[in-house]
Structure 1
Amino acid sequence: MATHIHHQHVDEPIDVLLVDDNPGDVRLTREAFETARTTVETELHAVSTGDEALAALSQSDEYAAVPPPDLVLLDLNLPGHGGCDVLEQIRSDRRLRRLPVLILTSSADEDDVSRCYTASANAYLTKPVDPGEFVSIVEAIDRFWFEQARFPPTDR
């Protein structure tokens, strides 16, 4: 899996994998990426289960044509494998372990926060209550992760 975030001067879009089973939140996140003032073009690919996320990350089955993501936005409460399980599997995979994973969830439970950071989440973000604040979240992600952060190349 190759990543191109570390090539910030290349005019390639940033591929973001959104893993969320709430269609309303997927729509709000997609709209936020479309309307936010961002410095880079992003391609948002959405899946709704932990199993679909793992298939997309391994580019298997119907996800063979989905480009490897540069960043994952991962909800916790998913059908099948939950978000933290997906995160743990990402971190245990040699090819994926350096992939930036941001937890984006409605849970503010301290146990969830602790478990995700123990599993090496890069950040834990609570979904905004106000739908309009999704744009602020996306702009903050853009400012930090796409403008400021530098990532090591992924293992092959």
Structure 2
Amino acid sequence: MTQGLTLIAIAAAALAVTTGCSSEQAPAPSALFDPCTTVTDDALTRAGADPATRKPIGGADGWRACEWQLGTAQLRVYSTSRRPAEFDAAGAVLTELTVAGRTGRRLADPGALTSACDVLFDADQGVIRMIVVNRADVPEAGDACVTLSRAGAEIVPLFPA
């Protein structure tokens, strides 16, 4: 699992580096969806996450991000003005995954198998990214994409169009 998480971190860094320059005009960071302030405690509780564990997490310029404990996993939501095409251009392997009636694109990481699930949702501002990573100390945590879909049923409807 550590190798899978390492691959996700490498892929995220590669996407950040390869998508750093864009000819499209993006909204200012202050206009970005802020998951720490917009994802409500009520929605988090219904999703099975603990609102008290809310933690803003650092990221590359042009990103807003937040993390919560979700039972046997960590839930992370990222927001960026980067356009969906920039992820396609970065050579990421993407497959469709529908969560709460909204179609997203799952970043495939064969090394993570079922321990992590990383989905990109298109938005007018750019992309909203939702990731569930199973805790390494809980081997029976289950498929992270099943967990993401279940939690996403409550959280994805709060994402901007």
Q: More helix per residue: 1 or 2? A: 1
Higher relative contact order (CA 8 A, sep 6+): 1
TM-score by length of structure 1 reads: 0.29
Q: More strand per residue: 1 or 2? A: 2
TM-score by length of structure 2 reads: 0.29
